């Protein structure tokens, strides 16, 4: 999978991305509350380096943090800024690859990389480059907050699909679900991402495709250590209240 196909995938999905949530605003508020509790009292200078349409960034900005968003998808990044403005929050955004962040060194207290964004990097050198650049833009002692699917479990069970999500909008119900096709290495998988929307008596079906690397916690912990992070910890959903495992770490001096 090339960078441009990941970008095209999210550019094309950006106008509909909120439809994977039953209630996007409620999800934003819930996620910001959980991530904010992990960060402690602020305000913090936050970079969300895979902000998408702003699911975490907008909630954190509304909670009073000074948030900048960036994302590989220019369409998503532009929408994130507009959605923030519509909610009375300030969220400057930029189109940027997390492996080459266009920010000065040591300027953020926190880097967020949430909801499985890291899984789009498919090689060890790409993951290492991204974590090294996240470390670079953090001040000494600054924090990384990264969330990923529970791939330890998913690599054991190798599911062929992810459960459907249903959102209700003015145009009716939209159903989103994914089929997963595991590669022979047992670590990577191709995703077929279906969105079904009502179209009279029929359903209109749109399919988009991308590839992910199912990194285990041990793998990502090693990458984070090698990139200059210390105090690497995993918080499972039962303890954090977030719907995915969350990695927290500190930028070493
Ligand atoms: C599953 S979405 C999550 C977006 C957002 N955090 C949310 O929860 O709504 C994954 C995001 O990662 C972004 N992404 C993928 N590869 C990236 C890269 N190399 N650099 C920056 N962003 C990337 C995609 O464009 C997409 O917006």
Residues 90 and 17 in one domain: yes
Residue 200 and residue 91 share a domain: no
Indicate whether 105 and 193 sit together in one domain. Answer: no
Q: What is the pTM of this model?
A: 0.96
Whole-number Å distance, alpha carbon 64 to ligand 1 midpoint, is: 23
CATH code for position 44: 3.40.50.150
Q: Are residues 165 and 135 in the same domain?
A: no
- 123 and 157 in a single domain? The answer is no
Looking at the fold, whether 208 and 228 belong to one and the same domain comes out as: no
The total number of structural domains that make up the chain: 2
pLDDT at 6 exceeding the cut of 60 = yes
Q: Is 50 in the pocket of ligand 1 (CB under 6 A)?
A: yes
Q: What is the mean pLDDT of the chain?
A: 95
Residue 92: which domain range? 3-150+215-251
Tens-digit pLDDT profile for residues 205-223: 999 999 999 999 999 999 9
Residues 135 and 172 in one domain: no
The preferred substitution site among 17, 34, 52 for testing ligand 1, maximizing ligand atoms within 8 Å of CB, is 52
190 shares a domain with 156: yes
Check which CATH number belongs to the domain holding 200 and give it. 3.10.450
Mutate to test the pocket of ligand 1, among 50, 69, 100, 147 (most ligand atoms within 8 A of CB): 50
Same domain, 121 and 239: yes
CB-ligand 1 contact for 98 (6 Å cutoff): yes
Same domain, yes or no, for 157 and 174? yes
- Residue 194: pLDDT band (50, 70, 90) is very high
What value, to the nearest 5°, has the Cα angle with vertex 129 and ends 68 and 102?
A: 35
| Residue 84 and residue 21 in one domain | yes
Considering the domain architecture, whether residues 190 and 165 belong to the same structural domain is answered as: yes
Q: What percent of the chain has pLDDT over 90?
A: 87
């Amino acid at each position: 999978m090339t960078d441009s196909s990941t970008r095209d995938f999210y550019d094309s999905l950006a106008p509909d991305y909120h439809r994977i949530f039953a209630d996007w605003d409620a999800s934003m508020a819930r996620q910001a509350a959980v991530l904010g509790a992990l960060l402690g009292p602020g305000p913090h200078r936050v970079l969300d380096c895979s902000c998408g349409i702003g699911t975490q960034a907008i909630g954190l900005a509304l909670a009073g943090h000074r948030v900048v968003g960036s994302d590989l998808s220019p369409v998503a990044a532009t929408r994130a800024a507009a959605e923030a403005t519509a909610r009375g929050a300030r969220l400057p955004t930029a189109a940027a690859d997390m492996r080459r962040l266009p920010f000065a060194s040591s300027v953020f207290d926190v880097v967020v990389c949430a909801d499985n964004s890291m899984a789009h990097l498919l090689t060890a050198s790409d993951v290492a480059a991204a974590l090294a650049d996240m470390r670079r833009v953090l001040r000494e002692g600054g924090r990384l907050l990264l969330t990923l699917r529970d791939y330890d479990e998913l690599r054991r069970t190798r599911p062929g699909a992810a459960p459907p999500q249903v959102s209700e909008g003015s145009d009716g119900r939209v159903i989103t679900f994914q089929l997963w096709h595991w590669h022979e290495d047992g670590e990577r998988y191709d995703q077929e991402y279906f969105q079904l929307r009502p179209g009279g008596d029929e359903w209109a079906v749109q399919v988009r495709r991308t590839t992910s690397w199912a990194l285990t916690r041990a793998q990502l912990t090693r990458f984070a250590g090698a990139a200059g992070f210390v105090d690497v910890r995993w918080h499972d959903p039962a303890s954090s209240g977030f719907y995915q495992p969350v990695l927290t770490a500190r930028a070493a001096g």
